[in-house]
A and B are shown apart, each in its own frame.
Chain A
């Protein structure tokens, strides 16, 4: 099992550009989520999904879109990048039953100039 994979590892964008952060898991987990981590702020929830075709907003959803067409994939889209979106982004997945199966990906470091 590869677990949770994220691509790219690092990306530089100019203000106004769009891009998609990829996240995939091979554990057949129903729940997937996206967090951003900023210095001194811990991890904050952006969007989450409880199954294919079902998504919902987290604490900081503005400027981000998600979709969940398959169980395995949960891409995060930045429609028009802003410097405030410079951060490290983590994708996570878990089984429906409990938090004991929560796994995080290795992260994508995004710099918006």
Chain B
């Protein structure tokens, strides 16, 4: 069974701080995705990483895929209140037909 473990589960920081969220598995994934979800809405795709060791940047967000394609991280530089939300990592199942989600990291950034 493919599982994705996210840490930390909750994160409460001040505006301007940096943070890293981790997504780990004992299984190899062909790709991993990161989503952000706000209360009352569906998840919105932020990025897809495909190649081991790949790094992608989206403004102040940096995403990394582990060399062995078993883990990923999301780093936010100088967090802002607008970054508040639930961050989810997800990987494709072996058949490529659906996503397996981690349990999510709830981020709260206060000004």
Contacts and interface: CB of A to CB of B under 8 A. Distances in A.
Contacts, number: 55
Interface residues of A, number: 25
A88 B37 CA distance: 13
A90 interface: yes
A102 interface: yes
Contact of A99 (B6, B33, B40, B102): B33
B75 interface: no
Contacts of B101: 35, 42-44
A105 B42 CA distance: 6
Interface of B: 6, 9, 31, 33, 40-45, 48, 88, 90, 92, 97-104
11 contacts: A33-B99, A40-B9, A40-B103, A42-B102, A42-B104, A43-B101, A44-B101, A92-B42, A99-B99, A102-B45, A105-B42
